[in-house]
């Protein structure tokens, strides 16, 4: 019986070559950014639903790009991602959303949203 679900699917383009980080005493993680785009026409009577976009009237095309931080912890997937994924690659990512906090170099608490692939 599933009482809760945290799942996200993204299709987009990689923003920069992945980097691998390792914090002392913890397993390494491969990190990269992924851009997804949402497009619509102004004046449309219907809007995009999921993966479909219905364009019913004329108008200017608008676009919104959203950047996602992707973290890959699973050893095999982490290594393959680091080795083969490159800036500009179009990839599909499935994972879960993780909300966390960190303290930046100026000692300011910041919130971070990460997709754990």
Identify the CATH number of the domain defined by range 14-39+62-116.
Answer: 2.40.50.140
- The pLDDT score that the predictor gives to residue 57 is 54
The pLDDT of residue 112 is 94
SS percent in the chain: helix, strand, coil, step 5: 10, 50, 40
What whole-number distance in Å separates Cα of residue 79 and Cα of residue 96?
A: 19
Q: C-alpha 50: how far from its chain's center?
A: 16
Closest C-alpha among 46, 21, 43, 48 to residue 32? 21
The overall average pLDDT reported for the chain is: 88
Domains of the chain: which residue ranges? 14-39+62-116
Tens of pLDDT along 68-105? 999 999 999 999 999 999 999 999 999 999 999 989 99
pLDDT at 70: 98
């Amino acid at each position: 019986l599933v009482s809760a679900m945290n799942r996200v699917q993204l299709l987009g383009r990689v923003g920069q070559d992945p980097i691998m980080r390792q914090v002392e005493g913890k397993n390494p993680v491969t990190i990269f950014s992924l851009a997804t785009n949402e497009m619509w026409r102004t004046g449309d009577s219907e809007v995009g639903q999921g993966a479909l976009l219905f364009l019913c009237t004329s108008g200017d095309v608008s676009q919104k790009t959203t950047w996602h931080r992707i973290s890959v912890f699973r050893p095999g997937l982490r290594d393959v991602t680091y080795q083969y994924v490159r800036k500009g690659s179009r990839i599909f990512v499935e994972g879960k959303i993780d909300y966390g906090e960190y303290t930046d170099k100026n000692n300011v608490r910041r919130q971070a949203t990460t997709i754990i692939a």
